[in-house]
Structures are given as C-alpha cells and as structure tokens.
Chains A and B, each alone.
Chain A
C-alpha cells in the first residue's frame, strides 16, 4: 500500500484516495480508447500481398492497466507536490551543498575527461562512448552559440554537421588531403553554408525561422541522398582515411605510430588519439564561446536575444550579428562533422536525419540555454541515457521522445537556467532565468 511509505498526517486516505482512483479510472478509459485498435489489433502484410491481422488482448490489457497505474501515480504526485513535500526534501544546507558541487562540477568533469583514456585504457567500449558523448558536447556547444546566445532557433543544425562530414570525406578520398588540412576547410565550408542559408532567412522570426532551417536541413539530406555521382547516394562514402598521428599512421608496420615511439602496437592507440582530438576540438569550441561572450560580438548576440529593436536603436547591425552567430555555430558543426567522418571511416545520409538536429537541440535546451556546463551535462546525460536503452533497440526513440516531453514539462528552462554575466564591476551575480529572454528569431 502506498500509505505505508509516507509519514502521517499526510497519508493517503478517504477523499484523496478516491480522487486518485477516479483519475486512474479516467486515464484507464482514455488508454483503452487510445490503444484499442493500435495495440489490440496487429496488422501485417500477408505472404500473398494482402493484409492479415490478429488480436492481442493480453497486451491491450497490460497497456490499460499501465494507464490506470500512471493516472493513479500522477494524481498522487500532484497532491504531494502541492503540499511542498518535494521542496521539504531539499533543506537549505542541502541546497548549499548543491551549489558547492555545482561550482566544482565543471573542473571535475574536465579532469575526468582528460584522465578517461588512462582510467579506461582497456575498455574500448567506454572510450568509444566517451568519444560519442564528446562529439555531442561539441555539437551542443556549437548550437548553443546560435540558440542559447543569439536566440535564433535552428532546427537544421545537422545540415552543417553533414557539410563538414562530406567535405572531409570527399576531399580526403578524392584529393588525398590530410585530416588536419581538411578540418579548417570543413569548418569554412560549413560556415559558408551557414551564411548562405542565413542571409535570406534571418529576417524571419520565431517558428518561421525554425521551420525554414528544418527545411534546409532536409534539403541538404535529400540532395546528399539523390546526388549519387558525388555523394554515393544512400550507400554513402566508404574508405574515408582514418586519422593519423600528424602524418604517422596508427598501423602495426615499421612506419607506424607504435614503432616510432618504441612501444608495442595496440589498436587502442588510435582510439585514445581520437578521444583527445575530439576533447581538444570540444574544448576549443568552449574556449572560443567563452571568449566571444566577453567580446562586443558576443554581447551583441545576447542583446539580440533580449531585444532586437533596442539593438537596432543602438546602431547594431542585426543582420551581420545574426549571420556571424549562424556562421560560427555552423563552423563548429562542420568541425564536428569532419571528426565524425574520420572516426567512422564511413558516412551515409542516415546519420544526418532530423532526429540528430532534434537531439542536439534537446541537449542545448535541456542544458539550460546559454550555459556551457549545462550543455555538457545534458550531452553526457542524453548520450549515456541513449546507451542504457541500447538493448531495447526499437524502444530507444520512443523512450527518447518521452524523455524529451518529460524533461520539458519538468524543467522548461533546462538544468542550469541562470545566466552568468559576461563582465562585472564588483561581484558577479547570477541572473535568474525568469529575466533572461530566449529570443524571437
């Protein structure tokens, strides 16, 4: 029984229990309506080309029961939170503790990231996961410039990721250019596409901008799918050169990295190297963002997010300001794309679907728009969470979607909602999220 777990006098009884049961019943009825045909009847293309179907009453029963429980729990939670039980769980001392932890969290995470290849040297799986997470940290930080700082909603960020990946793949396979040469090219090309897209569309506002960037992302993906002679179409590009240690390949041969440094060959070397490359790239993104925030351009981005009209009245060229935000964000997306291509050795349009854009945007918003630490935490949480559900395979996106809804309902302003001022005279004071705007564009 639920009442044994909570202390009196707020035990669940009488009318409250009744209300909870009523709410549970309603939810169950609604659930029955929703799932009746969808779960209760399963269709499939039959062997003869026709359609066959069979019923699944048991599953339907389970779903309705689950709806009942969900409705019950929800009502209880609402009743509890109304009493401030959740607040009471967090005494002031605990909050202070949280604050201290929060301040130390950034440096601790960084130290952990640097030491990770040493701690988990033998666990390739964890290192791969770390590389993946760092890629998303970098993408999140890149998009954060556009969405979090400048307040421009970009739903097609993955397009720049794709431009970066395909530029590296094409330049390296066609002209044999090295990764370190291609990296800036990929960034510049992505930034160029950012400007190309940004120039016409940046006078659009809000959701219009969102949908146009979404369309742009889809256009890029569809062009990649269909321009078979250049991109290999749906089959993608294979045989992308793997990274070398500044020209020294990670091979077992006499010319290889292991031989050069006089150590035993191990395939892990390359993984560790890749780990540090993406760590460096991500930190570069972070460093540049932090620097930019303290420069006039960064302040203009944030001012733009706060009030575009006031910006214009102060002589700020809002078009170029928006364009630089777009281009800078795109450039980092391009870098990340080039890294992605060299790590995978194979790319196809599948990796650049709208879901990726949504994932990166979710990372930025969950992180708390504009907060670097928040974005990093959100990226690690998301990718880690994704990994936990790897075994569930087809349920993964379902869980991801549910998590997105739940997180937004729970914390609409993200994990770290407050804003740190870019400059101060005496004492830096955090600015509460309720004052910080999120832009119109």
Chain B
C-alpha cells in the first residue's frame, strides 16, 4: 500500500509534466488541425535553455535559489516561445492552405532540425544538474517504507495547477481566448469577421511553446538530467495524453497527462521497466480503438 502510494505520487508529478506538453499539442490541433510534431523538441529545448540560463545566472552571481529558479523560468519561457514562433513562421505558415500531408512532413522535418540542432550545439552527452531543491514531506514512515512527497514534486504539481487555471481563464475570459475558440470552430468565418487568424495561430504556438518550456524546466529539476533525445519520446507520450484526454479539450489534456504518467509509473513499478513505453503506446492504440474521441472529447457525427 505504501509502495503504491509512493508510486501514485511519482505518477502524478510525471503526469503533470506530460499534461503541460499535451496542452501545447491539443491547442495547436484544436486550432489548425495538425499534429505539431516538433512540439516534443520544443519541450526539450525549453529544458536546455533552462539549464543554460541557470548556469549563466549562477556565473553572474545570482545564487539565491528561488530567485534564480524564477528568473530561469522566465528566460526559458521567453526564448522557447521565440522558438515556437519561428517554427510556426518558417515551417507551417507557408503551408497554411496547402494539402494536409505537407504541414505534417514539414513538422517532422522541423522536429529533426530542432533535435539535431541541439545535439550539435550542445553535444550528445547527458547533462546532469545537481538537485537544487532538496527535502520533502514525509507522509508515512512505518519504519520499513517511507512515503514522501519531495519539494520538487510539490512545485511541479502546484505550478501545473496554477498554469492550468491561468490558461483556462485566458481561453474562457479574454478576447484572445474568444478568438482562439472562434478559429477552432471555423477559421474562414473567423477571418471574415475580422479575427486576425494568423496572429491567433502564432499566439497559440507561442503559448504552447511557453508551456512546453515550463514542462522542460520542471523535467530538468525533477530528473536532474537532460539530453537532446528526450523530446521525441516525451513528445509522443504527451501526444498520447492529448488524444487520451480527447484532443482539443484542455482539461482533457491535463487528465490524459496524469493518466499516462500514472500508467507509466505503475507499469514500471509492478511489471517491467523495459516495456514501459510499449505500455504507453499500447494504451494509445487501445484508447483510440475503443474511444476514438478520448475521455473528454466530443463525439463526432459523420456528415454524409
């Protein structure tokens, strides 16, 4: 039981990270109906920028950890958002009115570019970062097994919750959110009614990338290591999460992220670590077969 509880906590923390990445997928898919294959790599870039920014800040003499972390988060979000903006501008916008496969391949190409760019720029070796936030809360200590929530986990989950709330408010309350929803429903009509759709789509990519940067930052402080390859796998898993939750649905993305995080952690804990990813992908297939619209997606009526 204690073991289960501990794994549950770990799963929630991991799931929060997936959920944040999934938000980016789900937003982009909702608005322009394409899988942004490069999003996983944007997440990875977010992690790297956070790492480098932290090193720079320490070198500049910012040693107070909370302040440093806050600044790192801001820098990572800004620069990664710039990456998101450039990717959309270069690889997707010229193909906005093109055939469906073209943007998808362009996105795959962009994923290769980003992944390999980081590999070349920062080397292929794993980059470690010493634990910055030690300690945690011990929940149960019955002598044999200690169940604890680390401070990092608390930060991860709280940040995710906060972002989720802020983000839902943006979509539900602001003018930008209304424009986004309008584009999601009918882009042509939205454009006719005076919505600057290009701008809305750009903003979506920027927000998605910023959220991915937060996820990358949290991945970094949670695991303490990062390499250029994490983007691909994390990207697929987060996409799985988005689909599981029902693509296009924001709470769905979060829910799906948590589900994938939990499944993955539990699978590793009780079955085998090697087949962890196989389990995640199999679940994707099974979900799509039996629940093609995911947990919170709207059912689709075929138009004849």
Direct contact between the two chains A and B in their complex (CB within 8 A): yes
Distance (whole angstroms) from the CB of A325 to the closest CB of chain B? 16
Q: Determine if A222 and B278 form an interchain contact, defined as CB atoms under 8 angstroms apart.
A: yes
Q: Using an 8 Å CB-CB cutoff, how does the interface string of B97-128 with A read, 1 for contact, 0 for none? A: 01111111110111111111111111101111
Distance (whole angstroms) from the CB of B56 to the closest CB of chain A? 6
B266 contacts the other chain (CB 8 A): no
Q: Determine if B243 and A211 form an interchain contact, defined as CB atoms under 8 angstroms apart.
A: yes
Q: Determine if A404 and B278 form an interchain contact, defined as CB atoms under 8 angstroms apart.
A: no
Stretch at the interface among A47-55, A122-130, A131-139: A47-55
Residues on B with C-beta less than 8 A from A208 are 243, 288, 292
Q: Determine if A405 and B90 form an interchain contact, defined as CB atoms under 8 angstroms apart.
A: yes
Given A37-B53, A214-B236, A226-B275, answer yes or no on A405-B292 (Cβ-Cβ < 8 Å): no
Q: Determine if B278 and A219 form an interchain contact, defined as CB atoms under 8 angstroms apart.
A: yes
Given A45-B127, A404-B105, answer yes or no on A412-B55 (Cβ-Cβ < 8 Å): no
Residues on A with C-beta less than 8 A from B105 are 358, 361-362, 365, 404, 408
Residues on B with C-beta less than 8 A from A53 are 52, 55-56, 59
Q: Give which listed residue, B79, B100, B106, contacts A34 with CB less than 8 A.
A: B79
Q: Determine if A215 and B289 form an interchain contact, defined as CB atoms under 8 angstroms apart.
A: no
Given A53-B52, A212-B288, A222-B278, answer yes or no on A37-B79 (Cβ-Cβ < 8 Å): yes
Stretch at the interface among B16-24, B160-168, B185-193, B279-287: B279-287
Q: Determine if A219 and B35 form an interchain contact, defined as CB atoms under 8 angstroms apart.
A: no
Residues on A with C-beta less than 8 A from B91 are 405, 408-409
Q: Determine if A409 and B82 form an interchain contact, defined as CB atoms under 8 angstroms apart.
A: no
Q: Using an 8 Å CB-CB cutoff, how does the interface string of B25-51 with A read, 1 for contact, 0 for none? A: 000010001110000000001001101
A208–B236 CA distance with the chains assembled, in angstroms:
12
Distance (whole angstroms) from the CB of B113 to the closest CB of chain A? 4
Q: Using an 8 Å CB-CB cutoff, how does the interface string of B72-91 with A read, 1 for contact, 0 for none? A: 00010001001100100011
A291–B121 CA distance with the chains assembled, in angstroms:
49
Q: Determine if B122 and A38 form an interchain contact, defined as CB atoms under 8 angstroms apart.
A: yes
Q: Using an 8 Å CB-CB cutoff, how does the interface string of B138-165 with A read, 1 for contact, 0 for none? A: 0000000000000000000000000000
Q: Determine if A223 and B109 form an interchain contact, defined as CB atoms under 8 angstroms apart.
A: no
Q: Determine if B236 and A38 form an interchain contact, defined as CB atoms under 8 angstroms apart.
A: no
Q: Determine if B112 and A212 form an interchain contact, defined as CB atoms under 8 angstroms apart.
A: no
A219–B86 CA distance with the chains assembled, in angstroms:
32
Q: Determine if A34 and B108 form an interchain contact, defined as CB atoms under 8 angstroms apart.
A: no
Stretch at the interface among A252-260, A264-272, A391-399: A391-399
Residues on B with C-beta less than 8 A from A219 are 278, 281-282
Given A408-B106, A409-B95, answer yes or no on A215-B128 (Cβ-Cβ < 8 Å): no
Q: Determine if A153 and B236 form an interchain contact, defined as CB atoms under 8 angstroms apart.
A: no
Distance (whole angstroms) from the CB of B292 to the closest CB of chain A? 6
Interface range for B = 35 or more
Q: Give which listed residue, A50, A212, A355, contacts B128 with CB less than 8 A.
A: A50
- The A-B contact count (CB < 8 A) is 188
B194 contacts the other chain (CB 8 A): no
Q: Determine if A412 and B243 form an interchain contact, defined as CB atoms under 8 angstroms apart.
A: no
A223–B119 CA distance with the chains assembled, in angstroms:
26
Q: Determine if A405 and B110 form an interchain contact, defined as CB atoms under 8 angstroms apart.
A: yes
Q: Determine if A45 and B106 form an interchain contact, defined as CB atoms under 8 angstroms apart.
A: no
Q: Give which listed residue, B86, B110, B232, B289, contacts A354 with CB less than 8 A.
A: B232
Distance (whole angstroms) from the CB of A42 to the closest CB of chain B? 7
Q: Determine if A50 and B240 form an interchain contact, defined as CB atoms under 8 angstroms apart.
A: no
Interface residues of B (CB under 8 A from A): 29, 33-35, 45, 48-49, 51-53, 55-56, 59, 75, 79, 82-83, 86, 90-91, 94-95, 98-106, 108-123, 125-130, 232, 236, 239-240, 243, 274-275, 277-278, 281-282, 284-285, 288-289, 292, 302, 304
Known A400-B109, A408-B106; further 5 A-B contacts with Cβ < 8 A:
A36-B79, A51-B55, A203-B292, A211-B243, A225-B274
Instruction: Give 29 A-B contacts (CB < 8 Å), ordered by A residue.
Output: A34-B82, A38-B52, A45-B125, A50-B128, A51-B55, A51-B127, A51-B129, A53-B52, A200-B285, A207-B35, A215-B284, A216-B285, A218-B281, A219-B278, A222-B274, A222-B277, A223-B278, A309-B304, A365-B102, A394-B119, A397-B115, A398-B120, A400-B109, A401-B108, A404-B105, A405-B113, A408-B103, A409-B94, A412-B95
In the A-B complex, list the 4 residue pairs whose CB atoms are closest, starting with the nearest. Answer: A404-B109, A401-B112, A412-B102, A401-B113
